[in-house]
Structure formats: structure tokens, C-alpha cells
Amino acid sequence: MLRILLSFLILVFSINLSAQSMKDSLLNSSRPKIGLVLSGGGAKGFAHIGVLKVLEEMNMPIDYISGTSMGSIIGAFYAMGYSASEIEKIVLSQDWESLLKDEISRKYIHVKDKINLDRYVISFPIKPKGIRIPAGIVKGQNIINLFERYTIEYHDKNDFRKFPIPFVCIATDLETGEAVVLDKGNIAEALRASMAIPTVFTPIEINGRLLADGGMINNFPVEEVIKMGADIVIGIDLQTGPRSKDKLNSIEDIINQTVSLMAKREFIKNRKLCDIYIKPNINGYTVADFGKADSLILRGEQIPLEQISELKQIIAKHKLIKTQKQNYPIVTDSTQYFINDIKINGLKHVRKATMLGKLDIETRTWTSIKRIQKGINRAYGSKYFDKVAFQLKGDIEKTLVINVTERRSNRFNVGMHYDDDNKASVLLNTTFQNKIQDGSSLSLDLKLSENPRFTATYNLDNGLKPGYQLKLDINDSEVYDFADGDKVGSYDLKYLKLDANLHSTFRESYSMGIGGKMELYRISSNIKTLGLDETDEDYYFTYYAFINMDSHDKGYYPKKGFSLYGEYKLITNNGLTLDGNERPASVAYLKVQKAIALSNRLTLYPKFFGRVVWGKAIPRVYNTYTGGLDQTNYFDIQVPFVGLRRMEVVSDNSFVFRADIQFELFKKNYLILKPNVAKVVADVNSALTEGQWIKGVGLTYSYNSLVGPMEVTFSLSDLENRLRGFINLGYWF
């Protein structure tokens, strides 16, 4: 009897649910369809989120969405099932300054490339017809990473009109000037195309068409939601509109004005088709105000009472009820996917094994989204690609599809620098990928200054499997001799080095190897104290082993990370011995630095530099020279010391202990206290206790500009008791 009663109750409940569902279905089919249109507007588009929050609170159903540029991004996320609050959390959790650049975290850059990461002010692609200005400042790798992460549940869904809320976005065909409606394909790429502001972001090719920001032609796509079936259109407009000539004062203003004028006629037509036209008060904000997302969202929530009343009247008149739920599975770093297979599309010159090594993702196992994106970042950080994107295909067992665009153009780079020791200098660099052998790089450096230098480096990296490097280095420098703190003369030091090594790389931050050099030195001097003839020339064969580690988060002003470079070298002049002695001379060098963040603005940065030389008949060119703030590696005989001038103290051994205290006064402005002590030992056979202690300190004010550090340093040492000033402008190279 109980079983019969229970079955009866279940039947009644099912009938009621079915009836309610049928009632809702009939109600929805008879009610007018609501279309939502979101305009472009750069950072101002964050105000769309605030308006969506208001519409959600009013329980307003949305049946179709169209958008352009930032409006397409917010609209797509909402169409896929994110709630307005979830979109807000995503937006506020981003570092937009880093996101809108192509910069990948330094930890994903190969250790050999980290030294070159901050050297250049300008970089141009080299194409078959010569050097060309790039199609855009930003390629958008970080943006595509963001889109791929938050659209991951839709990587297998290619029809945007079948999203929980049907969606389309607008781009511009740069070849024909036509507006392109994107409603199928890869949603991440579609969003990237729709927001590709000309000259800022590079355009993107989809289905054979070169696409850029849809705002150039149709920044307010009302007609599109009407074509989709909307009966009532709610349009949210965040455009500033054309400005008067007195307000066109920057490149940003000119670009915005150009876009506004191009889309003006289409906007006027679309504006008339809106039933509810919402224009939040965002006066005073610009398209670049990505750091003001929270206040822009708040502005979006402040819809005028008149429009609130109009929306409520529509809801009441048509008895509108929102039945669909915003329900998107939130993806976190720990979200796991079972990777059954990996497919890589787009490889031509880079070997598949190299790419798989960068990804470091195993098949037939569960893998987190965090690990997948780390692999993507490592691949992009290799400099072999202009774009690395991914999709997860399949239901439970996923195929990881990697789509790459190999770097088709080589690079021409320019660096500029000035300091009181080296004076003004310009660095011209050309970097070629995949020359002679796939996966290799060829870099040519020409330094133009009073101390010119030329370096050619050919490198092939194979990860753990040994790779090799060939290097030619030619340098011509003037080096001073000091007595009691005063310059007493100078000599001209020229050298030519031919270097070859084998090396292995662990991850991106650790490398070790062995190698050999042929070194030719020519010294011209008028200084009798050096014990040199007017011209002294000799050559040497050296063998070395090295280890290189660098996990600093930044090349300049790091807040965390560790770096170490160690080298042991044997010096001969015949390949076996030195000047007839039984064995070669030896040189050991060690540099260790660790950044420790004591607070958000205060960093302790201890450092150690040590160089030891031992053996008989050691050539003068292998002595240790202590002093200066020079951060270059032209001479492996130099040990920096704050308070002494560049290469001021000559000795066999030198040990420098330094502890920089770095305080960020305000954004990009630093005050750095640099105390250090040194132990220099003039004779290699002397015990460490018999050497000379030198104490010094410096105070540096530094501004981290777009072209590198702008620094003024005042320092002194107990060797001279004389306050010295030093100016450094730009990246060191």
C-alpha cells in the first residue's frame, strides 16, 4: 500500500512539473524576445558589467546578445553562462597592465635569453623587403591566454548562436573594409579579432580574412540582434563620440576619433532601432583606464531612474520572467582535465620534440589548467612563435590541440644607453630564427660607442639533451689605471674571442655546460707601472665549465627570485700548459644574488661577487679588477664595487659582499641604499687574512622608464673618502 501511495505522489509531482514547464514554455514562446547590444569602448566597456547587474536584479530575460570590441568580450562571457558578478570577479582579478602586453612572466623565458630581455628600446620585424614597422604594438598572447582559459567549456562548441544565449560579435575586414559578423568558429579567436584596435593590437586572420576591431565599421550592432529575432532591443552605449579639435591632444585621442568618425553613420542608424537606449555616465574616463575597472562597473550600475522605469514597464507589460540561469562551471588553477592526446598545428621549422619539451605535459593522465597554461607560456617564451594558442577537444578524454604561428619575421632591435664610464652608446641587434638548423637562433650585436664591440652568437638549445653555442666576440676598450683615487694613465685593450660550448637546460631557469675559447689580446699602453711594453699581444686557449641559474621575477628591481653564475676556467697558451709551466693557470668566478621582499614596497637584495686567480706566470689580462657600477659582462675580469670607480683596484683575488635595500617610493620610483665591503688580495699566494678590506656605500635614486632605468648615484669608500656621483640612463648592454 505504501509503495502504491509513493508511486501516486511521484506521478502527481511529475505532472505538476510538466504542466509548469509547459506553462513556462508557452509563456516564453508568446512573449517578445529581448536583444542586448553592447558597444565597444575599451576599458570603458567594464561599465557593461554594472548594467548587467541591474538587469539581473530586475530579473530581465535576455534572448540574444551582440557586441563589438570590449562589448563582445563581456557579451560572450554572459552568453556562455557567466553571471554579471562572476564576470566582475574575473575583471577585477586581472593585472591589466601586464595582460595588455606580450610580456610573459620572466620565469618562462629561457635562461640564455633573460640577459637580453631588457636591452632594447625599439624592435622591428625584418621581412623579405626589409625592415618594417610592426602591424601592431601588441600581438595579444596574454589576451588570447585569458580568453582560452575562461571559454574552455566552449572549445568544442563552434556555433555561437547555440550558446545558452545566442551570441554574435563584429569585426572589420581590413582588406575590404566590410563589417564581419562572427557567429561560428573559435570563440577565443573571434573575441581577439573583435577587439584588435588598429596599430595597438595586431590583426588576426580567420577563414582567410584579416580582421581587426569591429568598432571601425559597426561599434553598436543593433541590427544584428534584430536579425537574430529580437523584438525589443536594449542598447548599452559607451562611446564618447567625436571630439572637438582642442581635445585631440594624443595618439590615443586621434585613434579614438578616427574610429568614431568611421562608425558614426552606422551608429546613427542603429541608435534609432533601440527600444531602450542606456548610456552610463562615464565622463572623465578613457579607453585606457583599465586600472579603474571597479569604479567603471559602479558607474554602469547607476542607470538613470527614467530608464529603470522604462525597463520595469516593459517587464510588467509583457509579464517577462527570466527562466534561464547564469550557470558556467568556474575554472580554477586546479581544475583537472584528462589529456588523451596532444596535437600541434602550424609547425614548419621548429621541431615537434622541442615543442613537446616546452609544453612538458604527459598524455593519458589528468592535467590541471594551470599546468597547461604554464606550458603555453614556456613555448611562447622560447621566442620561436608569434602566437601559441590551445583548445581542449572531446568530452571526458580530451585532445589538447595546440595552434602555433611560427615567428615568420626576424627582428631588428635598437638599444640606447649612457653612463659616466662608457659614455653614450647605441646597440644594433639583428636576431634570426631557424638559420642553418631548425630550432636555432643567430644573434648579431654591434655596439657603437667610444668602446665599440661586435658579437655574433649562434645557439641551438635542446633542453636536457645537450645543445651547443658558437660565439665570436670582438671588443675595443679604454681601461684606466689609478693611483690614490686619481687616474694616472690609460691603456687600450683589444680582444678577439672564439667560443664554443655544449650545454643542457633544466626547465627555463637552470643551465650548465662545458666549453673552450681561443682568446687573442692586444694591449697598447703608456703606463710603466703595468710592466708592459708599448704594445703587448698574446693569445690563449682556455677551457671552462659553467652553471647559470636565474629565477628573478624582473631583470631590474626584482622583488623575488635567485640568480647564480659560476665559472671555472683553465688558461693555457698551447692547449696544455701556460708559459712552460707544468700546468695551466686557473680562474674561478661566482656571482650570487637573491631578492627578498620584506613588504610590498621594501626589498632586501643581498649579493656576493668573488673571483680567484691562481697559478704561475698569470697574464695581466686575467687579473681581477674591482670597482664600478657597470652591469655589463664585457670583461669577465671585472668585479663591481659601489664607492670605487670602474676597475679601480687590481688584484689576484677579490670578494665583494653587498646588501641593497630597495624601497619603492611610489610607482616606478626607487630609492636604493647600497652598502658593500670587499676583500682584495694582491698576491695569489697570500692568505685571505693578509688582504685589504675596503668599505663603501652608495645611494641611488632611480626611475624605471620605458627606455630603462634613469639613475643618479652618490657613493664613497674608505679607500678615498671622496663623494662621487654617477649617472646611468637606459638599459645596460
- What DSSP assignment string belongs to 456-509? EEEEE--TTS-EEEEEEEEEEEEEEEEETTEEEEEEEEEEEEEEEEEEEEETTT
- CATH code of the domain covering residue 576: 2.40.160.50
Q: Using the predicted structure, report yes or no on whether residue 276 has a pLDDT greater than 70.
A: yes
Q: What distances in angstroms separate CA 545 from CA 511, 516, 567, one per listed residue?
A: 11, 9, 6
Residues 591 and 529 in one domain: yes
Mean pLDDT of 89-115: 87
Domain assignment present for 289: yes
Give catalytic status of residue 715 as yes or no.
Answer: no
Catalytic: which of 39, 66, 69, 440? 69
Residue type, 682: A
Q: Using the predicted structure, report yes or no on whether residue 250 has a pLDDT greater than 70.
A: no
Residues 204 and 289 in one domain: yes
Average pLDDT in the chain: 88
- CATH code of the domain covering residue 395: 3.10.20.310
Residues 629 and 490 in one domain: yes
Chain segment 129-138, per-residue pLDDT in tens:
666 666 667 8
Distance in angstroms (rounded) separating the CA atoms of residues 349 and 347: 6
Residues 179 and 224 in one domain: yes
Burial letters 17-45, b for 16+ CB under 10 A, else e: eeeeeeeeeeeeeebebbbbbbbbbbbbb
Domain boundary pick from 376, 406, 436: 406
Domain assignment present for 506: yes
Domain assignment present for 112: no
Tell me the three cell numbers of residue 482.
689609478
Chain segment 461-516, per-residue pLDDT in tens:
887 889 999 999 999 988 888 887 788 888 888 999 999 999 998 878 899 999 99
Chain segment 701-726, per-residue pLDDT in tens:
999 998 899 999 999 999 888 899 99
Residue 563's H or E segment, with its range, is strand 561-572
Residues 380 and 463 in one domain: no
Distance in angstroms (rounded) separating the CA atoms of residues 351 and 362: 18
DSSP state of 690: G
Residues 182 and 81 in one domain: yes
Q: Using the predicted structure, report yes or no on whether residue 553 has a pLDDT greater than 70.
A: yes
Residues 441 and 482 in one domain: yes
Q: Using the predicted structure, report yes or no on whether residue 26 has a pLDDT greater than 70.
A: no
Q: What is the pLDDT of residue 12?
A: 45
Q: What is the pLDDT of residue 491?
A: 85
Q: How confident is the model at residue 22 (pLDDT cuts 50, 70, 90)?
A: very low
Q: What distances in angstroms separate CA 511 from CA 163, 224, 456, 549, one per listed residue?
A: 48, 55, 20, 6
Residues 352 and 381 in one domain: yes
Across 259-263, 304-308, 461-465, 654-658, which has the greatest mean pLDDT? 654-658
Residues 346 and 314 in one domain: no
Residues 177 and 274 in one domain: yes
Q: What is the pLDDT of residue 136?
A: 67
Domain assignment present for 150: no
Choice among 37-51, 127-141, 387-401 with the minimum mean pLDDT: 127-141
Strands 276-278 and 653-666: unpaired
Residues 418 and 395 in one domain: no
Q: How confident is the model at residue 99 (pLDDT cuts 50, 70, 90)?
A: confident
Give catalytic status of residue 69 as yes or no.
Answer: yes
Q: What angle do CA 240, 243, 247 make, to 5 degrees?
A: 115
| Cβ–Cβ under 8 Å, residues 549 and 558 | no
Domain assignment present for 92: yes
Domain assignment present for 712: yes
DSSP state of 214: G
Domain that holds residue 265: 34-102+159-318
User: Coil, strand or helix: which one is 435?
Assistant: coil
Domain boundary pick from 380, 406, 432: 406
| Cβ–Cβ under 8 Å, residues 588 and 608 | no
- CATH code of the domain covering residue 213: 3.40.1090.10
Domain boundary pick from 348, 378, 406: 406
Chain segment 577-591, per-residue pLDDT in tens:
988 788 899 999 999
Q: How confident is the model at residue 246 (pLDDT cuts 50, 70, 90)?
A: low
Mean pLDDT of 59-76: 97
User: Model-level pTM?
Assistant: 0.81
Tell me how many domains the chain contains: 4
Chain segment 190-219, per-residue pLDDT in tens:
999 999 988 788 999 999 999 999 988 999
Percent of the chain with pLDDT over 90: 63
Distance in angstroms (rounded) separating the CA atoms of residues 96 and 100: 6
Percent of the chain with pLDDT over 70: 89
Domain assignment present for 443: yes
Mean pLDDT of 107-131: 82
Catalytic: which of 63, 113, 173, 213? 213
Terminal Cα distance for the chain, rounded: 90
DSSP state of 105: P
The alpha-carbon radius of gyration of the chain (Å, integer) is 32
Domain assignment present for 117: no
Residues 360 and 436 in one domain: no
Chain segment 321-360, per-residue pLDDT in tens:
887 777 888 788 999 999 999 999 999 888 888 899 889 8
